[in-house]
């Protein structure tokens, strides 16, 4: 089953990313300055991507609002485009993207542009060139794009406007990865058996994929789509849970609150924090969370499984556990 712009369907032609943008144009137009003309160039054949419609809307909305703020009180234009892009081995963009097919989303503005120094900091949380800005919009976009395995590139010069280019891997370019067997699955399963993991993740496609892969690796798995559900599960089943895989930014109860409840019901319960931000930023933002480890999104299946096993049984390899069970 393919995830196409946030809809699960056997037929990926039912919904497309261009339609998602088209449907939010009314909201976009009332969100930008009255001096700004919002134009679109939406491709008719964009590729399927492993992203939710909400994620695509968040990416576009944040980039358009940022573009509007860059134009300010002057007259200007913002152009939003979607298209299919194939990156070859000789393309300059290969430095930041592997070869293959991508959904390309571009948001261009006629604002004042940015210096090279500013470009290096625009994705930092809380960095802003506006006196009243919070600086979170672009950091959120960067986090979503990284979490989806994509890249974001910025082209800008002072006085020449700015273009943000988002590239999200097309499903046809990475579909084979989804059904790959877990490396060392038999040995990995032995090291996972007997442990129960609570996965707290609000992005449905990602959570469902993680739950499936952890169960294949031998873990018992519970899941929660928000922090409030997670705290309810902990209060009822906390004594049986060995580890929480906890997303840093979740709706409902915060990640700090989830970790606090976990510490109350089972003081030795381990927490692995996951985020599209870097580890230093994640730990600073959630200083109250007693994380035992961290894994950055997007993560590979083998790395995730090994991380959880190392936290649960530090120093015990899968082969050692297999011999122990003989």
N-terminal to C-terminal alpha carbon distance within the chain = 39
**Nearest one of 236, 227, 304 to 260, comparing CA atoms:** 227
Clarify whether residues 242 and 206 are in a common domain: yes
Is there a single domain that holds both residue 107 and residue 199?
no
Contact status, residue 60 vs residue 107, Cβ threshold 8 Å = yes
Residue 49's nearest CA partner among 89, 18, 94 is 18
**69 and 215 assigned to the same domain:** no
Q: Indicate which CATH number applies to the domain containing 192.
A: 3.40.50.2300
pLDDT tens-digit map of 49-86 = 877 788 888 899 989 998 998 898 899 999 999 999 98
**How many other C-beta atoms lie within 10 A of the C-beta of residue 183?**
12
Closest alpha carbon to 167 in 79, 97, 88 = 97
Based on the fold, state whether residues 86 and 168 are members of the same structural domain: yes
Burial of 173 (0-12, 13-18, 19+ CB in 10 A): middle
Same domain, 276 and 261: yes
Same-domain pairing of 320 and 185: yes
Three-state SS string over 247-266 comes to ECCCCCCCHHHHHHHHHHHC
Asked if residues 238 and 265 have their Cβ atoms less than 8 Å apart, the reply is yes
- Does one domain contain both 139 and 21? yes
Q: Are residues 164 and 188 in the same domain?
A: no
Place of tokens 């604002």: 111
Q: How far, in Å, CA of 238 to CA of 6, rounded?
A: 32
Q: Are residues 136 and 44 in the same domain?
A: yes
- pLDDT for residue 279: 67
Helix (H) or strand (E) holding 92: none
Q: Can you tell me the distance from the alpha carbon of 219 to that of 244, in angstroms, rounded to the nearest whole number?
A: 12
Residue 9 pLDDT: 34
Instruction: Tokens for 121, please give them.
Output: 């900091």
Query: Hey, what's the torsion of the CAs at 122, 128, 133, 135, to 10 degrees?
Result: 40
Mean per-residue pLDDT for 100-126? 83
Q: Tens digits of per-residue pLDDT, 221-274?
A: 998 989 999 999 999 888 889 999 998 888 888 888 898 899 898 888 899 988
Residue 260 sits at φ, ψ, to 5 deg, of -65, -45
24 and 97 together in one domain: yes
Mark which of 142, 175, 208 sits at the end of a domain. Answer: 175
CA atoms within 13 A on the CB side of 196: 11
Q: Which of residues 148, 175, 202 is at a domain's end? A: 175
pLDDT-derived band at 277 (thresholds 50, 70, 90) equals: low
Number of domains in the chain: 2
Which residue(s) pair with 115 in the sheet?
none
Domain boundary residue among 175, 207, 229? Answer: 175
* Domain extent for 114: 2-175
CATH number at residue 79: 3.30.565.10
83 and 186 together in one domain: no
Mean pLDDT within 34-53: 87
How many beta carbons lie within 10 A of that of residue 215, not counting itself?
14
Q: How would you classify residue 94: left for phi > 0, otherwise alpha for psi between -120 and 50, otherwise beta? A: alpha
Enter the pTM of the model.
0.51
Q: Are residues 262 and 222 in the same domain?
A: yes
Q: Is the pLDDT of residue 201 over 60?
A: yes
Residue with tokens 């599209």: 276
């Amino acid at each position: 089953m393919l995830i196409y712009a946030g809809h699960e369907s056997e037929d990926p032609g039912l919904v497309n990313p261009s339609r998602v943008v088209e449907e939010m144009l009314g909201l976009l137009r009332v969100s930008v300055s009255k001096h700004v003309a919002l134009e679109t160039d939406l491709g008719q054949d964009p590729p399927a991507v492993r992203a939710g419609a909400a994620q695509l809307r968040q990416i576009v909305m944040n980039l358009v609002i940022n573009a509007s703020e860059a134009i300010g009180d002057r007259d200007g234009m913002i152009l939003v485009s979607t298209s299919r892009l194939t990156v070859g081995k000789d393309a300059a963009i290969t430095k930041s993207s592997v070869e293959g097919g991508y959904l390309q989303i571009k948001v261009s503005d006629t604002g004042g542009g940015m210096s090279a120094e500013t470009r290096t900091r625009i994705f930092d949380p809380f960095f802003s060139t506006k006196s009243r800005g919070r600086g979170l919009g672009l950091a959120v976009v960067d986090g979503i794009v990284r979490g989806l395995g994509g890249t974001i590139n910025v082209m800008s010069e002072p006085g020449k406007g700015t273009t943000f280019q988002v590239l999200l891997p097309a499903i046809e370019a990475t579909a084979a990865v989804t059904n790959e067997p877990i490396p060392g699955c038999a040995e990995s399963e032995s090291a996972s058996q007997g442990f129960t993991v609570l996965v707290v993740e609000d992005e449905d496609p990602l959570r469902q994929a993680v739950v499936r892969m952890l169960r294949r690796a031998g873990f018992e798995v519970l899941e929660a789509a928000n922090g409030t559900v997670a705290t309810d599960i902990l209060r009822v089943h906390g004594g049986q849970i060995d580890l929480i895989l906890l997303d840093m930014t979740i709706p409902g109860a915060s990640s700090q609150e989830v970790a606090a409840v976990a510490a109350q019901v089972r003081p030795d319960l381990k927490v692995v924090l996951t985020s599209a931000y870097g580890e230093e930023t994640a730990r600073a933002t959630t200083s109250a969370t007693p994380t035992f480890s961290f894994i950055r999104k997007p993560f590979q299946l083998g790395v995730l499984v090994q991380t959880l096993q190392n936290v649960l049984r530090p120093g015990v390899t899968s082969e050692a556990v297999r011999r122990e069970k003989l």
